[in-house]
Chain A
Amino acid sequence: MMFTIREAWTAVHGTMMGFGFIMFYTGTLALLFTLRSRLLTPEGVQRNVALLKTATAIVAVLSWVAVFIGTYVSYPWYRAAPPAGTTELTMYARSFLLANAGKEAWHTFGMEWKEHVAWISPILATAAAAVVWRYGRGLKDSLVLNWTVVVTTLVSFAAAAVAGVLGAFITKTAPVI
């Protein structure tokens, strides 16, 4: 089984980033929820905060890499216009979707939503990471700050999840090959 260059980039953008998102977002939330636990010793809090800083930084970096690859590597292949007179559109995903009745909503709704909302994710993930790095152990004592980072992380994940799920379905309907 061989991947084309386009399929390989799509796999990096979707599968690898998607895997990283789920793993490190989950880790971030688990660490934030347990940070305020009374069961944590001072050494435990210190370790928890160090892991939290690492996890939020990785989430932010992964989300930036994902949106930049998605927008500047995969998306130009997706939206490329076919030469005049082309009837075989499978190499031109957007045109293929728009030309097929019943599939056009994958572009007009699916891709249109995905390509925009995805960019909200790294902005929020970076804000959350910056606050975690700035306040560190202070997040244990500030309920408001802790919960604000939790909510920011969840909303960032929601934006990434919308983009990821739509991307998976669009790729299944009209793969970039």
Chain B
Amino acid sequence: MTETSELKRPRGAAAAAFLSAGIGAAVLGLATVGAEFSQALGGALVWFKAVGPLSGKTSVALIAWVVSWVILGRAWKGKEPNFAGVLVISGLLVLVGFMFTFPPVFQMFAPH
């Protein structure tokens, strides 16, 4: 890797890294809410019995993160996407992840 190549790289790879991280965080939040809302989904997310639904929630989030990173990385390879727009969307997705993994929020979705 030369100095020049690092300095001139388009920001497509960075955009893919940040947006996919946001997708991973948001999917974790949505899976957490989903498992709370639906007992069936919560049961389906028990991928490792000793860990319970947390195993499925986190695995689904990791799969979404990696797959989206690969897809976006290929789509934006050598390109210069709207970086500011990508950052805003990524930030919102991370916020969704934080919000929906906060117990007072996701516990609101539990059936009464």
> Hey, which bits of chain A sit against chain B, CB under 8 A?
67, 71-72, 75-76, 79-80, 108-109, 112-113, 115-117, 119-120, 123-124, 126-127, 130-131, 134-138, 141-142, 144-145, 148, 152, 155, 159
Contact = CB atoms under 8 A, between A and B. Distances in A.
B45 interface: no
Given A75-B51, A120-B25, A130 B6 contact: no
Q: Is the interface of B mostly helix, strand, loop or mixed?
A: helix
B51 A71 contact: yes
A170 to B, nearest CB: 13
B94 A155 contact: yes
Nearest to B7: A138
Q: Please name the 6 residue pairs, one residue from A and one from B, whose CB atoms are nearest each other, closest first.
A: A76-B50, A116-B101, A127-B21, A136-B6, A112-B103, A127-B17
B14 A131 contact: yes
Contacts of A119: 28, 58, 61
13 contacts: A71-B55, A72-B51, A76-B50, A79-B50, A109-B104, A112-B103, A113-B102, A115-B54, A131-B17, A131-B18, A138-B8, A144-B83, A152-B18
Q: Is the interface of A mostly helix, strand, loop or mixed?
A: helix
Interface residues of B, number: 39
Interface string B70-112: 0000000000000110010000001001100111100100000
Contacts of B24: 123
A113 B17 contact: no
Interface in B1-39: 1, 3, 6-9, 11, 13-14, 17-18, 20-21, 24-25, 28, 32
Given A117-B98, A117-B101, A141-B7, A134 B52 contact: no
B86 to A, nearest CB: 10
